[in-house]
């Protein structure tokens, strides 16, 4: 005579159950963090570049410079967000006679292209140009390009743009 006995399955060990809960909790936290990271990046991409007008004196100050006296028709902006980092650009008018002395006064490591004078200012028929690497102000720009175009015998239009590589 044979008696069939069923052997009951052993109850899960409490340590194993605790370990499974910890693994599930860690996986949920990792998945939540990944979702947040993806959503945050997506929000940044959706916003794209943000352009805002700014005072040209503020832009010059951020580069460690001073806006020339009597600058007129000032139009400056800053771009931020996305992959562009933070850049500034602008244009204003000054007296033609003040253009070269102002360019020569700008501080920072000078880009010395061929044809530049001892002050690194490039003279062209239509105006002047200057490149500054890493200006000393609070703006973390890798380069600033300043272009001066002669508008008339008395006036010049200054255009600048920062680059954050």
pLDDT tens per residue across span 103-113 = 999 999 988 77
Residues 28 and 67 in one domain: no
What's the CA gap between 137 and 116, in Å, rounded?
24
DSSP for 53-122, written as a single string: EE-HHHHHHHTT--PPTT-EEEEEEEEESTTS-EEEEEEEEEEHHHHHHHHHH--SEEE--TTB-TTSPE
Q: Lowest-pLDDT range, 22-26, 40-44, 158-162?
A: 40-44
Residue located via tokens 């061929």: 114
Q: Lowest-pLDDT range, 43-47, 82-86, 123-127, 135-139?
A: 43-47
Instruction: Read off the pTM.
Output: 0.68
Query: Which residues form the domain of 56?
Result: 50-163
For the stretch 43-99, pLDDT in tens is 444 466 788 999 999 999 999 999 999 999 999 999 887 665 678 999 999 999 999
H/E segment holding residue 21: helix 14-47
Residues 33 and 68 in one domain: no
Residues 38 and 81 in one domain: no
Q: Do the domain assignments include residue 33? A: yes
Model confidence at 27, pLDDT cuts 50, 70, 90, reads low
Residues 19 and 73 in one domain: no
Q: Do the domain assignments include residue 144? A: yes
Residue 34 has pLDDT above 90, yes or no: no
């Amino acid at each position: 005579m044979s008696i069939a006995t069923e052997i009951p399955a052993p109850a899960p060990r409490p340590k194993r159950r605790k370990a499974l809960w910890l693994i599930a909790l860690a996986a949920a936290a990792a998945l939540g963090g990944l979702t947040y990271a993806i959503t945050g990046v997506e929000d940044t991409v959706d916003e794209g570049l943000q352009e805002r007008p700014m005072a040209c004196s503020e832009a010059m100050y951020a580069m460690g410079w001073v806006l020339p006296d009597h600058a007129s028709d000032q139009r400056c902006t800053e771009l931020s967000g996305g992959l562009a980092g933070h850049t500034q650009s602008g244009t204003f008018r000054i007296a033609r006679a003040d253009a070269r002395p102002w360019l020569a006064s700008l501080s920072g490591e000078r880009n010395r292209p061929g044809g530049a004078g001892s002050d690194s200012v490039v003279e062209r028929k239509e105006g002047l140009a200057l490149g500054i690497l890493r200006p000393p102000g609070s703006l973390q720009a890798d380069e600033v390009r300043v272009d001066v175009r002669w508008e008339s015998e008395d006036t010049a239009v200054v255009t600048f743009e920062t680059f954050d590589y």
